[in-house]
Amino acid sequence: MAEAVLFQARGLAKSFGAVRVVQGLDFDVRAGEVLGVLGPNGAGKTTLFNLVSGDVAPDAGQMTFDGRPLGQEPPFQRCRLGIGRTYQVPRPYGGMTVFENLLVAALFGGRQPEAAAQARCARILDECGLAARANQLAGGLPLLDRKRLELARALASGPRLLLLDEIAGGLTDEESKQLVALVRQIRDGGVTVVWIEHVLHALMAVADRLMVLNFGQKIAEGAPAEVMASAEVQRVYMGLEVQA
């Protein structure tokens, strides 16, 4: 695995009112890895993504992407820089078809001519298991397909760093295996991935490293097996009592 750092955060902090949701967080995302992010509900995981994607401004801290300092760029500019993301609650353009949703993302973020974008979108739809839905209105899709579309749209924008926020919930075992294979394929295609996921077996199947948050602070980071074996992680995240 490459060791170059693609994204770096130092001293990242965000409060909502009196609640410190992200507290002095330092972390690196290495180019070419899948970094899994775990933590109990309310640990600050989605807020962290919101800070990286520019949906929320930090109170303190610095971030760099590919060596370039990030400032006040709104989400669309970070998308054009190469930071793509999914949202926990899918946000398709309901009045457009599935294919059109992808094309908008590809043309917006992808910096490529329309013919190339169309071919790319067709390939991504296929990879994401949505080819049969291409001409359906996105607003009428069942939840699982809305989630697939969320991932497909993020891919269509041509990210170098892809932030996935809980995309495995509600999948069958077979669907979950397909999703893991797809994430692996995305990484092998050169896209760096940060994946927040409560479905542990899916995350463990593909993550190169894990980072665990609790109350907005990093409590563990490293090789997946080591992180999951840590008593602190088991106590906080798994809710297990660990024998002293």
Residues that bind ligand ATP (CB under 6 A): 16, 19, 21, 39, 41-47
Q: Which is nearer to ligand ATP, 44 or 158 (CB)?
A: 44
Q: Which is nearer to ligand ATP, 46 or 192 (CB)?
A: 46
Q: Which is nearer to ligand ATP, 43 or 79 (CB)?
A: 43
Q: How far is the CB of 104 from ligand ATP (least distance, A)?
A: 26
* 3 state SS of 103: helix
Element (H, E) at 23: strand 19-30
Q: How far is the CB of 199 from ligand ATP (least distance, A)?
A: 12
Give counts: helices (H), strands (E), the chain.
Answer: 9, 10
Q: How far is the CB of 86 from ligand ATP (least distance, A)?
A: 13
d(C-alpha 172, C-alpha 5), whole Å: 34
Question: Which distant-in-sequence residues (6+ apart) come within 8 Å of 143 by Cβ?
Answer: 90, 170
Is 48 in contact with 22 (CB distance < 8 Å)?
A: yes
Q: Which is nearer to ligand ATP, 49 or 65 (CB)?
A: 49
Q: How far is the CB of 17 from ligand ATP (least distance, A)?
A: 7
Q: How far is the CB of 108 from ligand ATP (least distance, A)?
A: 25
Is 97 in contact with 134 (CB distance < 8 Å)?
A: yes
Q: Which is nearer to ligand ATP, 124 or 163 (CB)?
A: 163
Q: Compute the Cα dihedral for 60, 3, 6, 210 and give only its sign.
A: negative
- What secondary structure does DSSP assign to 107-147, as a single string? HHHS---HHHHHHHHHHHHHHTT-GGGTTSBGGG--HHHHH
